[in-house]
Structure 1
Amino acid sequence: MGHIMQVKLLGVRGTLPVHGPEFARFGGATSCVLVRAGGETILFDAGTGLSGRAWRDFFPEKHGTLLITHAHVDHLMGLPVFPLLFDPTARCDIYLKTREGRTGREQIEALMSPPLWPIRTDSLKAAVDIRNVPDAFSVGPVAVEAMESRHPGGSTIYKITCGGVSLVYATDYEPESDAPDDFCAFAEGCTLLLLDAQYTRSEYERNRGFGHSTIPRSAAIARRCGAEQALLIHHDPTRTDRQLLALEATVRAQHPNVRFGRGGEEVFL
């Protein structure tokens, strides 16, 4: 039996991109995850992981769907240079929830407009459809569900399901406990959980309310919701490979099905 989903982590760094040899193993690109399932290409977020040429291998039909969690710049800064948007033979559906009185299109236009950026959305060559986020919808045979995250200004948590395989993408999420009822019900039994874990416990005390989880809390949530495997993402931009490896080893001693996501890695479900 073949794989139902191909998942490629294009960027797992939080807040801002970083570079240098001390970040090479886990990568320095900000949030972007690419999924191939049911003949569809789906992208979660459009951070700097969206840049580069890797996209060409995943869009043979020149059609993609972008599920954007929110318009904070680290999750959107790869969008203005996404090559698919400049191909007149391509189509792209972008889902971004209306927030603070601004539609998804208005949020993207706030970034893609002078003096912040020279190219406006009306200059894009592809057929681009920017849509609000319903609670449930489909992308071809892929079912998509959405729930609201706890994050300043709001953010969307997504779940996609195809052929009995499910993936939950929950970045920029500050859970209120080690077993949040709403999230655990949403993610229950998922095949793969991608979950924010930016802070250590001590860092969280200084950053409470910033909209991110801790490494121990996210590992506990992965166990509580029964995820078959979990990758913790949105790594703090100051965290080096050496530090991440040490923290990961501590987590895996208690939670063997939990790892830290690495930029560029692929998971087949």
Structure 2
Amino acid sequence: MRLAMLGVRGSTPAPGPEFVRYGGHTSCVAVLPDDSAVPALVLDAGTGLRGLGALLDGAPFRGSVLVTHLHWDHVQGLPFCPPLDHPGARVDLYLPSPRPLETLTRVMSPPHFPITPGGLAGAWRFLPSACGVIEGYAVTVAEITHKGGITHGIRVEGDGVAIAYLPDHAPQAGYAAAAELAADVDLLLHDGQFLPGEQATADAYGHSTVADAVAFAARCGARRLVLTHHAPARTDDALDVLAKEVEVARQGDVLTP
């Protein structure tokens, strides 16, 4: 298993020369099997989803997209990804809602957007988030602490390794379910949006500081921690400083757990 980091920014895209090295697209990770460069499983659908086409070499996407929650920075890429919005696409979209199509339509419909989800080309299924075998991987989801609606963390197991993806998480507000989800994983991709001096802001918005993330990774026995969901104002130079202390995700990297 390899993880293609298509978007590592949080809250809003960050364009401009100060954000070139680490990237400005919001949350999206493609899971690449060991024996193929073509992903069938994608975690989150932020603006980084636009980069999926480069991995598919022009072919339509046929697989599943698992969304952690419905905030804009995790779904805004859905109508802007040609391999998904394609007559030959086959997309199972899993959302943390008992009525996934209804919930997504609240985010994506006039007057907020020109089309509804039903206007996307291809064969789409809108499904509630679920545990089970998805695209050949053992997937476990659990509700974790983050403000503004239901948020799920995701554990993916396959190819002899386990990873956990928690891009929006406030472990300081309660972490029992999340710790079980991330227990003994080979790689933990975790929210690191705020610095320790920004704890009050992290608490107010339901996010993690770097110190919170490091402590959480130690509690759950993660073998490797990589911070993601970087603050939109966190420049390349600022992330370089942070990278001297802890590993940080970079758009365009392919991580091997």
TM-score, normalised to structure 2, is 0.91
1-side partners of 2:207 and 2:226: how far apart? Answer: 15
SS at match of 1:108: helix
Question: Where do residues 183-222 of structure 1 align in structure 2 (5 Å cutoff)?
Answer: 183-222=178-217
Deviations 1:224-257 (A, max 9, x none): 32222221011111111111111221x24xxxxx
1-side partners of 2:58 and 2:165: how far apart? Answer: 21
**Partner amino acid for 1:42?**
L
1:72 aligns with 2:71: yes
SS at match of 2:232: coil
Structure 1 match to 2:144: 149
Alpha carbons of structure 1 residues 31 and 266: separation in structure 2 relative to 1, 3 Å: same
2-side partners of 1:36 and 1:189: how far apart? Answer: 21
Q: Tell me how far 1:107 sits from its aligned partner.
A: 2.2
Deviations 1:58-90 (A, max 9, x none): 786741210001111111111111213332222
Structure 2 match to 1:264: 252
Q: 1:174 aligns with which of 153, 170, 175?
A: 170
Query: CA RMSD of the aligned region, Å?
Result: 2.1
SS at match of 1:260: coil
2-side partners of 1:233 and 1:14: how far apart? Answer: 8
SS at match of 2:214: helix
2-side partners of 1:86 and 1:104: how far apart? Answer: 18
2-side partners of 1:148 and 1:58: how far apart? Answer: 35
Structure 2 match to 1:45: 44
**Partner amino acid for 2:121?**
K
SS at match of 2:84: helix
Unpaired runs of 5+ residues, structure 2, are none
Question: Where do residues 54-203 of structure 1 align in structure 2 (5 Å cutoff)?
Answer: 54-57=53-56, 62-98=61-97, 103-134=99-130, 136-152=131-147, 153-176=149-172, 180-203=175-198
1-side partners of 2:61 and 2:150: how far apart? Answer: 31
Q: Tell me how far 1:56 sits from its aligned partner.
A: 4.6
**Partner amino acid for 1:261?**
A
1-side partners of 2:164 and 2:209: how far apart? Answer: 18
**Partner amino acid for 2:3?**
V
**Partner amino acid for 2:20?**
A
Structure 2 match to 1:17: 13
Runs of 4+, deviation exceeding 4 Å: 58-61
Contact 1:7/1:266, CA 8 A, preserved across alignment = yes
**Partner amino acid for 1:37?**
P
Contact 2:27/2:74, CA 8 A, preserved across alignment = yes
Structure 2 match to 1:226: 221
SS at match of 1:13: coil
Q: Tell me how far 1:52 sits from its aligned partner.
A: 4.1
Contact 1:94/1:131, CA 8 A, preserved across alignment = yes
SS at match of 1:84: coil
Structure 2 match to 1:255: none
1-side partners of 2:108 and 2:227: how far apart? Answer: 30
1-side partners of 2:145 and 2:204: how far apart? Answer: 9
Unpaired runs of 5+ residues, structure 1, are 253-258
Tell me the number of residue pairs that the alignment of Structure 1 and Structure 2 aligns: 253
**Partner amino acid for 2:236?**
D
Q: Tell me how far 1:167 sits from its aligned partner.
A: 1.1
1-side partners of 2:108 and 2:53: how far apart? Answer: 23
